[in-house]
């Protein structure tokens, strides 16, 4: 058990900005890629029997929360929302015509606020999906919901069209923090919505909370974790607030408050983590938690946990098709991203039913490094023997420089390094992205020896 002085020193030395590695390489390494490349990849799927996954981006919100760094649009104009849905369905139909009828293993509605659509619009989306695809018996169908913008009718519509999971964005239960971030959702509303979702028999309910927000303290995170525990969420994600006011101007309003330092953010996360781990939640990766009885926890124990753009999953990896504004597809070693500006997306779909603008084709080296990073982010270990079997490389030789850089992590008990494997310690979990970054050939180097960083 480290004392506070040693913790501060550790955070200052090792906890630096790093990608979340929902993909490797991260989006910053991608370049221009056109519609023809995407359609060629879709055409290759047509002859395959494997199931697919769908991500559908619904970017509209009634208002813009000040903390938000997502691709979201605050818009109360129902005509604009309806036009977007019409084009989204056109994109969906175009993809299905190329791939042919497939089973769907996973669907995720992300945003924005998916329930900015009316219940009737959600039902139309669902009918179109099942017009062209078939649900796998074990399908994971999840929708993100904002408690302040979701009604019982929304929940019923989602259930009626086959959704069995919900991800509820709470961020913080405290009224004073909600006031600062523009997130007005009274506790009774959140509790009632959660209860209604249980009554409708949604298979799994996740709750998102955040740390590092203006004026937040470890006490706020303890309060949040206790509320999540009391509700009985199946899964919990504790995300760090990303302060990027140059990209998201609404965040400039936070600068009148004291933003937590790197060490204070670390303290906040540990406060919530301790509550959850004492309450039958198992930590998944770095900042996700699941009840010990949840299939994610069981998959972790069995060594079969996977991770993709939609999060942690027990399902086998599949090709992922992204639909809508800024959506990302992952198809057999190629990434594709749709236009991120609404006008560009609308224009491209209207003209050619395809909104691809950026992408990346993984190299053999990328595939090797992606497996290492995936193993770290899911299982906190890398077996060199297993890597050699999968990728046909001598891991000790191939990663000679990276393993040398990792020695400093081992010296501080963040990992256990041997000639057979890398194993991340419990202490090292909070530095998982920084450990993974050592294997990132596209990342800007960070000097760990300099000891720089605001803690």
User: Which domains are present in the chain?
Assistant: 9-330 (3.80.30.20), 363-437 (1.10.10.920)
pLDDT at 421: 98
Residue with tokens 């945003």: 111
> How much of the chain exceeds pLDDT 90, in percent?
85
Task: Give 28's contacts (C-beta < 8 A, 6+ positions apart).
Answer: 19, 442
Provide DSSP, 254-301: GGGSPPPPHHHHHHHHHHHHHHHHTTTEEEETTTEEEETTSHHHHHHH
pLDDT at 444: 60
196 closest CA partner among 231, 240, 234 = 231
Confidence of residue 80 (pLDDT cuts 50, 70, 90): very high
> pTM of the predicted model, to two decimals?
0.94
Residue 404 to residue 408: CA distance in whole angstroms? 8
Q: What share of the chain is helix, strand, coil (3-state, %, to 5)?
A: 45, 20, 35
Question: Does an H or E element contain 227, and which?
Answer: helix 218-231
Query: What pLDDT digit, counting tens, does each position of 148-205 carry?
Result: 999 999 999 999 999 999 999 999 999 999 999 988 888 999 999 999 999 999 999 9
Angle at 372 between CA 367 and CA 374, to 5 degrees: 90
Would you call 69 helix, strand, or coil by DSSP?
Answer: coil
How many CA atoms lie within 13 Å of 360's alpha carbon, on the beta-carbon side?
A: 17
Query: What pLDDT digit, counting tens, does each position of 314-337 carry?
Result: 988 899 999 999 999 999 999 999
């Amino acid at each position: 058990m480290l004392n506070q002085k040693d913790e501060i020193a550790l955070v200052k030395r090792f906890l630096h900005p790093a990608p979340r590695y929902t993909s490797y390489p991260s989006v910053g390494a991608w370049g221009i890629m056109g519609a023809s490349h995407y359609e060629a990849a879709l055409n290759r799927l047509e002859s395959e029997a494997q199931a697919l996954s769908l991500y559908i981006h619904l970017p509209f919100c009634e208002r813009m929360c000040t903390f938000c760094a997502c691709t979201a649009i605050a818009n109360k104009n129902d005509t604009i929302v309806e036009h977007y849905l019409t084009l989204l369905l056109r994109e969906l139909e175009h993809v299905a015509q190329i791939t042919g009828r497939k089973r769907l293993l996973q669907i995720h509605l992300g945003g924005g606020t998916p329930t900015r659509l009316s219940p009737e619009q959600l039902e139309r989306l669902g009918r179109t999906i099942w017009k062209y695809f078939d649900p796998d018996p074990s399908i994971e169908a999840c929708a993100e919901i904002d408690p302040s913008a979701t009604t019982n009718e929304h929940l019923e519509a989602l259930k009626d069209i086959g959704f069995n999971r919900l991800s509820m964005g709470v961020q913080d239960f405290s009224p004073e923090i909600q006031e600062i971030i523009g997130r007005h959702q009274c506790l009774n509303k959140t509790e009632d919505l959660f209860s209604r979702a249980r009554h409708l028999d949604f298979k799994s309910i996740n709750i998102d909370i955040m740390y590092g927000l203006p004026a937040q303290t470890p006490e706020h995170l303890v309060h949040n974790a206790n509320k999540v525990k009391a509700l009985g969420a199946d899964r919990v994600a504790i995300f760090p607030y990303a302060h990027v006011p140059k990209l998201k101007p609404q965040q400039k309003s936070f600068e009148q408050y004291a933003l937590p330092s790197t060490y204070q953010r670390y303290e906040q996360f540990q406060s919530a983590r301790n509550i959850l781990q004492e309450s039958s939640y198992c930590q998944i990766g770095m900042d996700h938690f699941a009840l010990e009885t949840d299939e994610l926890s069981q998959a972790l124990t069995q060594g079969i946990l996977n991770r993709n753009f939609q999060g942690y999953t027990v399902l086998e990896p599949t090709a992922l098709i992204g639909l809508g504004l800024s959506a990302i597809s992952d198809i057999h070693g190629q990434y594709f991203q749709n236009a991120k500006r609404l006008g560009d997306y609308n224009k491209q779909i209207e003209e050619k039913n395809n909104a691809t603008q950026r992408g990346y084709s993984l190299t053999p080296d990328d595939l090797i490094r992606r497996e290492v990073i995936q193993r770290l982010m899911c299982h906190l270990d890398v077996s060199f023997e297993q890597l050699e079997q999968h990728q046909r490389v001598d891991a000790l030789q191939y990663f000679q420089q990276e393993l040398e850089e990792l020695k400093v992590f081992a010296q501080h008990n963040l990992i256990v390094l041997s000639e057979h494997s890398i194993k991340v310690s419990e202490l090292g979990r909070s530095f998982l992205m920084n450990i993974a970054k050592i294997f990132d050939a596209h990342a800007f180097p960070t000097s760990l020896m300099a000891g720089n960083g605001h803690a």
